Amino acid sequence: MNRTTLTAKWPEGLSDPSGSRHAKPRAKGRTMIIDKGIGVHAFEDLLSTSGQYIDIVKFGFGTSPLYPPEVLRTKIETASKYGVAVIPGGTLLEAAVRLDVVPGFFRQVLAFGFTGIEVSDGTINMSRTLRSDLIRDARSLGLTAYTEYGKKLSGSRIDIRDFAETAEQDWACGAELVTVEARESGKGVGLFDERGEHREGELAMILEAVPNMDRVLWEAPLKEQQVYLIRELGPNVNLGNIPVNDVLTLETMRRGLRSDTFGLHREPYIDYMI
C-alpha cells in the first residue's frame, strides 16, 4: 500500500473492542495516577501521550511542599490544560492536621491551583466530626473532595461495616469518590495480602455492603490487581495509585487490547485461525 493512501484513523472499533469506554469528563472508569516526583518535561510527555486516559493526578504523600514553587505551579497548570484534576497526597493534609496548620494548607492549595484534596487518616486518628468538616471546607472553597478509607500499617484490613458507614457519610458531606487504601506497594493492606494478591471472598462482601461502585476508587498499583478488578467489576471500575508508566497499559486492559482481558466484555472466545 502506498504510504500516501494511509489515513490517521484506525478501523472502527479497534481502539476500544470493549465498546464501553467514554471520553472525559468521565463519571466512572476513572484513572488516578500517583506522581512521586517526575520532572516537568517527563510530566508534559506523560500528558501529551496519555492525558486523555488520566482523570486525576495525585502528587504522592507529602511531596508537594518539596517542589520549587515554579515547578509545582507549572505541573498543575499543565494538568489543567489536559482536563486532569490535581490533588496533593492525603498524607500532607494529615501532617497539616497534626501540626494544626489546616487553614494554611488550604490557602496554599488554592494559591497553587490544585483542583481538589484528599481527606485521609491513614497515619493519624481523625474524628468523624473533623473528617466531615474537612470535606465540607474543601467543597465550600470550590475544591473537589476525595476521601480515603483504611490505614497504611501493614496488615490493616477492611472493616466492611465501618467502610460502608464511612463511605455513606463521606458522600453525604460532598465527597466525590471514596478510595480504598492499598498504598503505593499494593501489598499487605486493604483488599490485598502481603503478596499483593486479593483476599478471597472479601470483594463480594464489600459489594453487598456498598453496592454503588461508581463512587468507589480502588488503589491497585500492580497489574494483577488491575486485571482482577477489571474482571470482577468491569472496564469502568475506578482505579488509583497507577504508576505513571502504566497508564496506557491499564487502558489497553480496560478496552480488551491486552491478552489479560481480551474479549472479556464482548463475544465469547472465537478461534479466528483459518
If you count DSSP H runs as helices and E runs as strands, how many of each does the chain have, helices first?
A: 9, 8
The pLDDT of residue 272 is above 60: no
| Alpha carbons 151 and 124: distance in angstroms, whole number | 9
pLDDT in tens, 42-81: 999 999 999 999 999 999 999 999 999 999 999 999 999 9
Which triple of cell numbers denotes residue 157? 484490613
Query: What is the residue extent of each domain of the chain?
Result: 24-258
CA angle 127, 167, 21 (to 5 degrees): 140
Which pLDDT does position 226 carry in this prediction? 96
| Alpha carbons 174 and 146: distance in angstroms, whole number | 9
Which pLDDT does position 147 carry in this prediction? 97
CATH superfamily of 24-258: Aldolase class I (3.20.20.70)
Phi and psi at residue 182, in whole multiples of 5°? Answer: -145, 5
Which pLDDT does position 152 carry in this prediction? 80
pLDDT in tens, 150-177: 988 877 889 999 999 999 999 999 999 9
- Beta carbons of 175 and 135 less than 8 angstroms apart: yes
User: Is the preceding peptide bond at 25 cis, omega within 30 degrees of 0?
Assistant: yes
pLDDT in tens, 234-265: 999 999 999 999 999 999 999 999 999 998 76
What's the rounded mean pLDDT across residues 228-235?
Answer: 95
- The interaxial angle of helices 69-81 and 40-50, nearest 10 deg, is 10
Model confidence, pTM? 0.91
